[in-house]
Amino acid sequence: MARSGLRSRIVGKVQPTVLLDLNAQHGVFTDAGGWSWMTPTVTMTTNMQGDCWAA
């Protein structure tokens, strides 16, 4: 267990996956398409930062 109390583990050999055990005060940031599944008690919010049309 990390000092933050967040537990994580990597499972799988063909397609390794990180599993996170989150408490209510924890959050996760991921790139688009980086989130595969979650339990029903997890909520997801999305946020686009910056300008998608910027050069």
**pLDDT tens, residue by residue, 32-51:** 777 777 888 888 887 777 66
Q: Are 22 and 6 in contact (CB under 8 A)?
A: yes
CA distances from 28 to 14, 19, 23, 53 (A): 24, 12, 11, 26
- C-alpha pair distances (Å), 48 with each of 27, 33, 35, 38, 39: 17, 13, 16, 21, 24
Question: How do residues 8-39 score in pLDDT, each as one tens digit?
Answer: 899 999 988 888 888 877 888 887 777 777 88
Closest CA to 18 of 37, 45, 39, 46: 37
